[in-house]
Amino acid sequence: MVQKKYSYSPSTDVGKIRELSARYALTIGDIADILDVAPKTLSRWAKKNNKKSGVVSERKTDSLLILESILELGKKVLGSDEELNLWLHNPVFALDGKKPVDVIKTESGRRKVEEVLHQIEFGIY
């Protein structure tokens, strides 16, 4: 796994969710699936966040950190946010023709996406 230190507080998690969503064209449904919550929960977090109260659990923060580390690896390997965004939303042969954005919704899927990115990085694809 990519080793990068990230530090979040519950008040910054909602902002990070918004940033990742916009930057990589991830829908609220995508983010909700990755964090294993209902889309309405994300909306509730955003409303509570606007009132300055912490709302995101450590477990969800960990999932967010893992997602961000995979996206950073993808950007490094593929060269830019734009290339990563294209890769995320198109079928990938090494993922059995599935889109990475759909595969990263499970823990095993996140590991597989990370593995494929490392294969690309080292020319093993």
**21-48 tens-digit pLDDT:** 999 999 989 999 999 999 998 888 877 7
How many separate domains does the chain show? 1
Confirm whether 3 is domain-assigned.
no
pLDDT at 57: 78
In whole angstroms, give the CA distance from residue 95 to residue 112.
8
Confirm whether 1 is domain-assigned.
no
**What letter does residue 61 receive in the DSSP assignment?**
H
**CB 42 within 8 Å of CB 17:** yes
Residue in the block written with tokens 């994300």: 42
In whole angstroms, give the CA distance from residue 84 to residue 61.
22
pLDDT at 2 over 80: no
Confirm whether 28 is domain-assigned.
yes
**CB 101 within 8 Å of CB 45:** no
In whole angstroms, give the CA distance from residue 117 to residue 120.
5
Confirm whether 2 is domain-assigned.
no
Confirm whether 66 is domain-assigned.
yes
Question: What does the mean pLDDT of the chain come to?
Answer: 86
101-106 contacts, C-beta under 8 A, 24 or more apart: 101/24, 101/26, 101/30, 104/34, 104/67, 104/70, 105/30, 105/33, 105/34
Q: Which of 30-34, 74-78, 116-120 has the lowest mean pLDDT?
A: 30-34
Determine how many CB atoms are found less than 10 A away from the CB of residue 100: 23
Mean pLDDT, rounded, for 57-81: 92
Domain that holds residue 109: 10-121
pLDDT at 10 over 50: no
As given in the structure block, the two tokens for residue 35 are 């964090």
The pTM of the full predicted model, rounded to 2 decimals, is 0.82
Confirm whether 40 is domain-assigned.
yes
Confirm whether 4 is domain-assigned.
no
The proportion of the chain whose per-residue pLDDT surpasses 90, expressed as a percent, equals 62
pLDDT at 109: 97
